[in-house]
A and B are shown apart, each in its own frame.
Chain A
Amino acid sequence: MSLLRVNGVGHDFGATRALHDVSLQLAAGSIHALIGENGAGKSTLVKTLSGALRPDTGTLTLHDEPFAPAEPSQARDAGVATVYQELSLAPHLTVAQSLFLGREPTRFGWLDTTTIQTEATTALSRLQRTDIPLDARILNLSIADRQIVEIARALHGQASVLVLDEPTSSLTGEDASRLFDVLRRMRDEGLAILYISHFLEAIVDLTDQYTVLRDGEVTGGGATAETNATELATMMVGRPLLQRTKRTSTVRDTPDPAAPQDDILLHVDHLHGSPLPIDATIELHRGEILGIGGLVGSGRSELVRAIFGLDPVTSGTVRIPDVSGPTTPTACLDAGLGLLSEDRATEGLALNLSVADNTVMSRWPTRRRGWLDLLGRDRAAERWIDELGIRTPSPESTVGSLSGGNQQKVALARLLHHDVDVLLLDEPTRGIDIASKETIYACIEGLADQGKAILVTSSHLPELLSLCDRIAIMDRGQLGPFRPAADRDEHEMILEATLGDRSPAP
C-alpha cells in the first residue's frame, strides 16, 4: 500500500525545467531510492516533499489524503520528516537540546528536563545509539553522530515518512554501514523511507525500490532486486552521450616516458590533506590538459586547494619548478601557478569591485616607487575584455553586476593577466551559459597550445572527455589513475566515481 504518492509533479525555475511530470509511490515498510546525476532534480523533489517548495503542477497525497505543505513545519507535523544534505543542527546546543529545538516540553513555562532526558534517551535508543551522550555539544560530535542526532530529531514524534538527502556523502564505510542498519530497522518498524544518493553500491545493497531522475524526468524505476549498478548507471546517463568533438591537438595522449623531466610543470607527490585528499599523485606536463572528475564532495576542490596552499597539507609534496614542499598561495603565484576558485561569488572575485580591479588584483601594474599604474590597469582590463569577449558596460563596472558567465571570464582573465604557466581550474564552467562555456573551452585549449599546463576539475564528465588529454576520477578523497581520454567513456567513469571500482589501467 502506498503511503505517499507523488502524482505528475512539475516545477520550473524561470526558464529552467527542474521537474516534469514526476510520479512515484512510497510504500510503508520499504526503502525507496531516488537516484540521478547532479542537477537531475532530486533536491527539487525533496523540497516539494518537505514543504520548502510548492510544485507548479501535480499533486501529493499522504495516507490517501491531499498533502500540500506550505512550509517545512507543516510537512513535519503531517509526519514527513526530512534530513537535509547539509546538516541543520545548531553547533552550540547539546544533543538533548537539539532533539527538542522548537518544540520543547515545558511545565509551567519552564523546560521539563525530566521529560527531555527520558524522551531523548528513548529517541536515541530507538536508533540503538544511546552511546551518544545527551549533554555533549553538537560541535564536539563526529559527522556520523550528528547525522544520527538529526535522524533521531526527524523521527521524533509521529513521522511515518523519512526523507534522507545524500546521507552518506560525508560518512566513512563503517559509519555508513551503521547508518544502514538503523535505516533497515526503521523500515522494519513500518516507516516509508526515501533515500537519495549517488552511491550505487549502497542503493543496490540497501533499497527495495528505486526511481531514476534525469533532467527532471523519471527515466526508470522498479524493484532494486531486479537491477544492478551498471544498469542504474546507464539509466542515470541515459540517451546517447553528449558528443563534443574530442580535442585533437598536437599533444600526445600519453606522456612520453622519454620526455625530459623539466617538461613537468607541476609534480604532486603522495599529497594528503585533512581529511581530503588521500594520497594524490599528479604529474602535469607542459601543454597538457588534465581532468579530474568525481561526485560532489569527493575531494576535487580540496585537492586543488591543497596544491595551491589554501587548505592544510598533512604530508606529501608539491613541486613547481622553482618551489617545492608546502606551498602558500603567494609562493604559488610567484612561481607561476594560479587557481580559479569554484566559488566565484565569495572567494573567486571581489564582487563589489570593478572588472578592471578584479583582473589585475593578483598583479597590479606599478610605476616607479610603487605607485599604482591606473592607466596600465585599464589597458590590461580592456585587453582581456576584448580577448575573452567579456560583456560589460565598461572596465569600471562592478563584477557583481555581470552575468555568471562573464564573471567567470573575469576570474579567468586574472590568471591570464598574471601570466601563470600552470592553471588549476576548479569547476570552471559551473553555472554558466553555453556561449561562455565555449569561450572558456577555447581559451583553455589555446593556453595548452601555447605550452601552458592546465588541471581542470568538473562534475560534468562529458566536459572532461572533450576537453582533456588524460582524466582521473576522484572517489571519497582518493584520486584514481590518470588515463587517456580517448580510452575512457562516461559510463565507465560514472561507475568508477560511484562504485570506487577501478579496473586496472589498460
Chain B
Amino acid sequence: MKLPSRNVLAPLLGLLGVYALFALLGPDSFSSARNLETMARQTTIVGIAAIGMTLVIISGGIDLSAGSIIALSTVVVAATMNAGASPLVSAIAGMGAGAAAGLLNGLIITRLRVVPFIVTLGTLLIVRGLAKGIADEQKIDAPLSWLIDLLAALSPSMRWMIVPPGVWLLLLLAVGVAAMLRSTPVGRHIVATGSSEATARLCGIRVERLKTGVYVASGAAAGVAGVMQFSRLTVGDPTVAVGLELDVIAAVVIGGGSLSGGEGSILGTLVGALIMTVIRSGCSQMGLPNWVQEIVTGGIIVAAVALDRWRHR
C-alpha cells in the first residue's frame, strides 16, 4: 500500500488543521473521547452515502436524489417492520429500495441519454414523493429492535466496541469500496469512464452497463445511510434528510473529487465528511451560532476546490 497521494494529503492536512484549531480554541470537552465518538456517529450517515456518491462523481456523474433515497429507506424500514419483517430483512429492504431508485437513475441516464444532473433532479422529487406516499405523509412508528442501537451512543457494557456498529459498518464499506476502486478492473473502468468516456468505449468497456451499476451502488449506499438515519430517529420519516445530498456532494468535493470526473477517492471523501462534522461540532461547542457554521463550511468547500484548481495549474 502506498502513501496517500497528494490529492488526499491536502484534505487530510485540512482536517488536522481544523481539529487542532478547535482543540486549541474550544472547550476541553471538544477533544474528549465522548465527543470524538459523537462526531464519528454524526459523520456516519453522510459518510456512507458519500461512498456511493464518490463512485458516481469519479465516473463523471452526479446523484442529487441521495437525500430523498435516505428518507425513502427510513420509511421502507419502518413499514416492513410494522408488517412483521425481522429487523435484518427490513434493513435489507431499505437498502434494496435505495438500489432500485439507483437503478431507475442509471437506466434513465444510459437509455434515454439525459444528463445525470437533470435525471437525478427529477428523481429527487419522485423518490421524495414516493416516500411521502408510502408513509401517508406521516412519521411511521416502528417496534423497538437492535436496529436503533446501530448508531446510538454505546452503553457501558458495550464499550469494548469503541464506536457503535454503524461506524464500523462505515469503515468496513469504505475499506471494501476503496479496494474495489483501486484493485479491481471495475474500479479502473469507473475512473477511465469519468476521465474519457470515448476512450473507455474504444477500449471495449461497456460504459452504459458500468454507469448503471454505479448509480445502483450509489442508491444502495444511500439506502444503507437511510437505515442509519432510521436508527437515529427510531421512526420512518419521509421528510428527513432534505438537502442532505449537498452535504454528501460537498464531502466528495472537499476530499478531492472532481465534478468533471476521473478524480476522487474514498479516503478523501471520508476526510471531507469529517471536516464538515468537526466544524459543526467545534462551532456548536464554542457556542457559535448556526449561521457562523454555515458560512465557515461554505467557505471551506469553495477554498478546497479553488486550492485544487490552483495546484493543478
Which positions in A face B, CB cutoff 8 Å? Answer: 72-73, 76, 88-93, 97, 101-104, 106, 109-111, 113
Contacts and interface: CB of A to CB of B under 8 A. Distances in A.
Contact of A88 (B188, B199, B204, B262): B199
A91 B312 CA distance: 13
B202 A93 contact: no
Report the interface size class on chain B: 20 to 34
Contacts of A109: 184
B199 A113 contact: no
B252 to A, nearest CB: 16
Interface string B198-233: 111011110000000000000000000000000000
B183 A110 contact: yes
Contact of B194 (A88, A92, A103, A111): A92
Interface centre among A89, A97, A102, A113 (most CB of B within 10 A): A102
Contact of A93 (B183, B184, B188, B204): B188
Contacts of A102: 189, 200, 203-205
A103 B202 CA distance: 12
26 contacts: A72-B204, A88-B196, A88-B199, A90-B192, A90-B195, A90-B262, A92-B194, A92-B195, A92-B262, A92-B263, A93-B188, A93-B192, A93-B195, A97-B191, A101-B189, A101-B203, A102-B189, A102-B200, A103-B203, A103-B204, A106-B184, A106-B185, A110-B183, A110-B184, A111-B183, A111-B185
Given A76-B204, A101-B188, A111-B187, 12 more contacts: A73-B204, A88-B196, A88-B202, A89-B199, A92-B195, A92-B262, A97-B191, A101-B200, A101-B203, A102-B203, A102-B204, A111-B184
A101 B198 CA distance: 13
Contact of A89 (B184, B189, B196, B263): B196
Interface centre among B198, B202, B262 (most CB of A within 10 A): B202
Contact of A97 (B188, B194, B198, B204): B188
Contacts of A90: 191-192, 195-196, 199-200, 262
Contacts of A104: 185, 188
A113 B192 CA distance: 17
B202 A72 contact: yes
Contacts of B188: 93, 97, 101, 104, 111
Contacts of B203: 101-103
Contacts, number: 60
B191 A92 contact: yes
Contact of A113 (B183, B195, B205): B183
B120 to A, nearest CB: 23
B184 to A, nearest CB: 6
Interface in B67-98: none
Please classify the interface of chain B as helix (H, G, I), strand (E, B), loop, or mixed, using the class held by over half of its residues. helix
Interface in B234-263: 262-263
A7 B188 CA distance: 40
Contacts of B199: 88-90, 101
In the A-B complex, the 6 residue pairs with the smallest Cβ-Cβ separation, listed nearest first, are: A102-B203, A92-B262, A90-B195, A92-B195, A104-B185, A102-B204
B267 to A, nearest CB: 17
Interface string B173-199: 000000000011101110110111011
Contacts of A103: 203-204
Contacts of A106: 184-185
Nearest to A87: B199
Interface in B1-37: none
Contacts of B183: 110-111, 113
Nearest to A89: B199
B192 A101 contact: yes
Contacts of A76: 204
Nearest to B192: A90
Nearest to B179: A110
Nearest to A135: B2
Nearest to A106: B185
A120 to B, nearest CB: 13
B184 A91 contact: no
Nearest to B2: A135
B230 to A, nearest CB: 33
B130 to A, nearest CB: 34
A73 B198 CA distance: 14
A469 to B, nearest CB: 42
Interface in B35-65: none
B196 A101 contact: no
Contacts of B198: 88
Interface centre among B185, B191, B194, B198 (most CB of A within 10 A): B185
Contacts of B262: 90-92
A362 to B, nearest CB: 29
Contacts of A72: 202, 204
A346 to B, nearest CB: 16
Nearest to A74: B204
A273 B199 CA distance: 29
B54 to A, nearest CB: 14
Contacts of B187: 111
A376 B125 CA distance: 44
A72 B183 CA distance: 26
B176 to A, nearest CB: 12
B263 A101 contact: no
Nearest to A84: B202
B6 to A, nearest CB: 11
B141 to A, nearest CB: 43
A76 B263 CA distance: 29
Interface centre among B183, B188, B194, B200 (most CB of A within 10 A): B188
Contacts of B263: 92
Interface in B252-280: 262-263
Given A88-B196, A90-B191, A92-B262, A101 B184 contact: no
Given A101-B200, A102-B203, A93 B191 contact: yes
B260 to A, nearest CB: 10
B102 to A, nearest CB: 22
A109 B191 CA distance: 17
Nearest to A105: B185
Nearest to A103: B204
A200 to B, nearest CB: 30
B209 to A, nearest CB: 13
B196 A91 contact: yes
Given A92-B262, A92-B263, A113-B183, A101 B205 contact: yes
Interface centre among A88, A90, A101, A106 (most CB of B within 10 A): A90
B177 to A, nearest CB: 14
Contacts of A88: 196, 198-199, 202
B195 A91 contact: yes
Nearest to A113: B183
A137 to B, nearest CB: 10
A12 to B, nearest CB: 25
